[in-house]
Amino acid sequence: MSDPTNPAGPPADITHLVRQRIEARSRQDWAAADHLKAQIEAAGWKLTDHGARSSVSRSAPPSVELEDEIRYGSAEAIRSRLQEPPDAPWTVAILASEAPTAVSRLLAGLRTHAPAGTQVVVVANDPSDQQQVALAAGAPDRAPIGGREVEVVRTAARLGHAAALNIAMRLASGELALLADGSARPTGDAFTPLADALADPAVAVAGGFGLVSAEPGRLRPAALTPSDTGVVEALTSGWLAFRRSDYAGLGPFDERFLTPAWLDVWWSLRLRAGDEPEPTGENEDGAGEETRRPTPRRAVSVALPLECEAVVWPPDRSRMNRRNMYRVLDRFGPRTDLIRASES
């Protein structure tokens, strides 16, 4: 299948239509602007206005039914379980595209060490032929984990990383959720220490691979360095746990993260920061008062029995990954209260 998240961006004809529409809006020719918008959207692109500027992104592909199975084009197309009471201690969310060996090893580790009742949701995100075979009904990867069947849901096309993860989370029925990307596999109980950490309401996120700031001052994701244990700024997605209720209240994942790079940092900080407060009004001088924020919750890195690949940090600086990094900086760069040193 073609990749709808091609980082090359929109083709020249769509870019030309967007420019024409920007010019029409500047002339306040709303009829022409609406006509151009209809053309852009009919070609499969979503148009978003930012004041005088506009941007386009691929529209979600439609869901389709093939071989008596629905393949989903977006998270919104799937019925959410998030408002239902949890019926499992954990939900493990896994994406499977083109790394069948890593996914198989992860599933095997979960089969041996996951707690009873653990729900495992695998999103087959436009998988390769080898990955498709590994996840076929009756294959070893589909054997039950924690006494439950592995849930496999397929996408209609290759979705961005965050969009595919949102599908998994809308299906989550565990009280706690774990993101696992195949880079780490449990060799023992890698769940109970995380549940113990998250029993503290002051802890927002816990995992096996922490990141701490290498220098004081503003949060600089490029300066984050790995840390084994203790209070950290953020956690990586190799083994990252949080409360399902927090996802319901603070999610979904930002679907502009087309690649996985920095999404784990963004989500860690989002969980720690909590609800974004409204401005508190103006003071007597007419200047906006400083926004009152609650004390951030903590991120905790825990020593766990995990067999893992070497942590590579920071991610490479490809175009899409740089965009993700700037997205983190734009949202959380000024938040000095999220720096670990300020909590000590």
Residue range 149-168, pLDDT digits in tens: 999 999 999 999 999 999 99
pLDDT band with cut points at 50, 70 and 90 for residue 333: confident
Indicate if the alpha-carbon torsion angle 15, 19, 25, 29 is positive or negative. Answer: negative
Torsions phi, psi for 70 (to 5 deg): -85, 130
Mean pLDDT of 93-114: 97
Q: What is the DSSP string of 111-145?
A: HHHSPTT-EEEEEE-S--HHHHHHTSTTSGGGS-B
- Give 261-275 pLDDT, tens digit per residue: 999 999 999 999 998
Q: Are 338 and 296 in contact (CB under 8 A)?
A: yes
- Comparing 45-54, 112-121, 145-154, 258-267, which segment has the lowest mean pLDDT? 45-54
What pLDDT score was predicted for residue 74? 92
Minimal CA–CA distance to 125: which of 82, 162, 91, 80? Answer: 162
Q: What is the CA radius of gyration of the chain?
A: 22
Average pLDDT, the chain: 87
Q: Are 89 and 182 in contact (CB under 8 A)?
A: no
| pLDDT at residue 286 tops 70 | no
Is the bond preceding 201 in cis, omega lying within 30 degrees of 0?
Answer: no
Most confident of 24-33, 239-248, 312-321: 239-248
- Comparing 1-5, 72-76, 310-314, which segment has the lowest mean pLDDT? 1-5
| pLDDT at residue 41 tops 60 | yes
Neighbours of 303 (CB within 10 A): 11
CB-hemisphere CA count at 13 Å for 39? 15
What pLDDT score was predicted for residue 68? 83
What pLDDT score was predicted for residue 4? 40
Neighbouring-strand partners of residue 243: 176
CB-hemisphere CA count at 13 Å for 31? 0
What pLDDT score was predicted for residue 216? 59
| pLDDT at residue 283 tops 60 | no
Mean pLDDT of 296-311: 90
What pLDDT score was predicted for residue 188? 97
pLDDT band with cut points at 50, 70 and 90 for residue 8: low
Minimal CA–CA distance to 195: which of 174, 211, 209, 212? Answer: 174
pLDDT band with cut points at 50, 70 and 90 for residue 222: low
Mean pLDDT of 245-260: 94
| pLDDT at residue 292 tops 80 | no
pLDDT band with cut points at 50, 70 and 90 for residue 59: confident
Q: Are 78 and 165 in contact (CB under 8 A)?
A: no
Minimal CA–CA distance to 320: which of 263, 237, 252, 240? Answer: 263
**Distance of alpha carbon 171 from alpha carbon 151, whole angstroms:** 9
Q: What tokens appear for 209 in the block?
A: 């691979």
| pLDDT at residue 134 tops 80 | yes
What pLDDT score was predicted for residue 119? 98
The ranges assigned to domains in the chain are 12-58, 60-182, 186-276+293-344
What pLDDT score was predicted for residue 225? 63
pLDDT band with cut points at 50, 70 and 90 for residue 89: very high
Mean pLDDT of 305-330: 87
| pLDDT at residue 287 tops 70 | no
What pLDDT score was predicted for residue 12? 83
305 Cβ neighbours under 8 A, 6+ residues apart: 113, 186, 187, 188, 189, 190
What pLDDT score was predicted for residue 92? 98
For strand 210-213 and strand 45-50, is the pairing parallel, antiparallel, or unpaired?
unpaired
